[in-house]
Every structure is written in structure tokens, then in C-alpha cells.
Chain A
């Protein structure tokens, strides 16, 4: 009788594990969020220190350079993400481009078209009009939407991260006009540092041990 029970429990464990693998996909792992968060804090802090204090390279960071710095942060974060996914794939003996990853990429891709085109526009002519804040609001907003587009098969923590980015993008222009500070010129840089830096670090801390123990990791589709 007990043998039957342990067999039944084993089968239920296999079913649960397979179901989770098939229905839940974490597009951003905790290590990736840590790398992206630290890089963003570093980049945001370096630009701020350069523009506002004596620790500088002698010239102010221009609008175009601002965009290039954050593109480099994005590139390194994407490479780190690919590295961690590949390492996990090798560890578990599963393909690097898994069916779940394809599903996530199909959901995310449309949300990245507008930030991509706005970035190209910014690098070509947008930088002339000091539109950094517009660029930041678009990037954070659509990044949030991209994360939310995986809502049906993403853990709850990732959806919360998406909402945090989306709501911040809405708040950025409003807060910028409402709060006048000595650092108003650095609002775009500070906004990038706080969102891509701080939010990712909080997400990494919450999901690091046990991959999301602090949140109820349940697929929204359930």
C-alpha cells in the first residue's frame, strides 16, 4: 500500500514538474537581473557623478553619449542573459532555444519595435532636441509591456517587475514637471538608474533563493 502511495506521489511530482516547465517561463533570471541591475547603477552613477561633481572626465555627457552608454549596458545585459540561459540549458541537458523561450520571444518581440525605432530616431535627430526623458519613458514603458506580454506563462514576480516599469514610465514625465530640483537635468539618467538598476536588484534579491520564494510563483494561466 505504501509502495503504491510513493509511486503515486512520484508520478504527481513528475506531472507537476513537467506542467511547470511547460507553462512557466522566466524570461529574466535572477543572475541576469543582478548583472543588469549592477551595470545600470554603475552607469547611472557614473553619468551623474560626471555631470554633477568633481569626479568627471572634463566634459558633460551629451544626449547621444547618454544613449550609447545605455545601449552598451543593454548589450552586456543581453549577453549575460544568453550566457546564463546557455549554462542552465547545459546543466539540465535541454536545448538553448527551448519551446518556452520561443514562445516568450514571440510575445516580447512586438513590444520592442517602438523603443527600437525611437532609439534609432533619437540617435539620428532626436538628440538635438534634448529628448532623453522621452526616450527613457518609452524604453521603460515598453520594457514593462514586454515583460507583461509574457504574463500568461511567466511567474508572478516577473509580472510585478513589468508593472513597476510600466507605472514608472507613466509617472516619469509627471514627476519631472512636479518636482523641481537642482538635478532636473539629470532626471533621465536618474530614472534609468532607479528603474533598470534598483528594480532589477530588488527582483534579483526576491527571486534569488528558491527562484521566487518571496512571491507566489503561480502561472497566471492557472
Chain B
């Protein structure tokens, strides 16, 4: 029996799902690169990243090289949550196929 409540609602939102996917693909993403890749506005992207950061899914690194740069990466908790989310999605597809 499937339990759709298992789907993490924080990740299930389209924008945050895209962010989590990109963060899972590479060790770290500068804010500007994330913005360019996703085509989101600054405000929208910051809001989603704050939500994920509050949940402990995303780590923030602030560096000052030539100019200040903020990078984002997945925490171990975030990676685990993303994996669980994928497993549930996979389970839904498989179960309904039967």
C-alpha cells in the first residue's frame, strides 16, 4: 500500500525540486550559476533556498575572493531526504504500473 504522505512536501514543490536536483548533481553551486541554470528571479530563488536551509537540507558557504560569492551545497540530511523522495516517486510509478 502506498503512502503518499511519505513524499516530502518541501521537496515536492516544483522550484525546490529543481534546486535539490541541481545540488545533488554537483558538490557546490554558486548562487549566480543556480539562478542562470534555473531561470528564477533572485527573490524566488532566495526564498526557496532559505526554506531548504531552515530544514537543514542545504548548506551555505560565503566566500570573498575578487568579490563576495555565496555557494550552496546539499547536506547529508538533504541528500538523504532527496534519495528518500526519489525512492517514493519510483515506488509510485512501479506500484501503479502493476
Contact = CB atoms under 8 A, between A and B. Distances in A.
A14 B92 CA distance: 16
B96 interface: yes
A8 B22 contact: no
A196 B83 CA distance: 43
A99 B21 contact: no
Contact of B25 (A1, A8, A22): A22
A157 to B, nearest CB: 20
A98 B37 contact: yes
Contact of A11 (B17, B24, B37): B17
A52 interface: no
Q: How many A residues touch the partner, as a band?
A: 20 to 34
A5 B86 contact: no
A169 to B, nearest CB: 31
Given A2-B96, A18-B18, A99 B33 contact: yes
B67 interface: no
Contact of B17 (A1, A14, A98, A99): A14
B97 to A, nearest CB: 7
Contacts of A2: 96
B24 A19 contact: yes
A182 interface: no
A12 interface: yes
Given A15-B86, A18-B22, A8 B36 contact: no
Say whether chain B's binding surface is mostly helix, strand, loop, or mixed: helix
Nearest to A3: B96
Interface string A1-36: 110110011011011001101110000000000000
B9 to A, nearest CB: 13
A91 interface: no
Given A5-B97, A8-B89, A8-B93, A21 B4 contact: no
A18 B37 CA distance: 9
Contacts of B21: 14-15, 18-19, 22
B33 A1 contact: no
Given A18-B18, A22-B25, A23-B26, A93 B39 contact: yes
Given A18-B21, A19-B21, A22-B22, 19 more contacts: A2-B96, A4-B2, A4-B4, A5-B96, A12-B86, A12-B90, A14-B17, A14-B18, A14-B21, A18-B18, A22-B37, A23-B25, A93-B39, A94-B39, A95-B36, A98-B36, A99-B29, A99-B37, A102-B33
Interface of A: 1-2, 4-5, 8-9, 11-12, 14-15, 18-19, 21-23, 93-95, 98-99, 102
Interface of B: 2, 4, 12, 14, 17-18, 21-22, 24-26, 29-30, 33, 36-37, 39, 86, 89-90, 92-93, 96-97
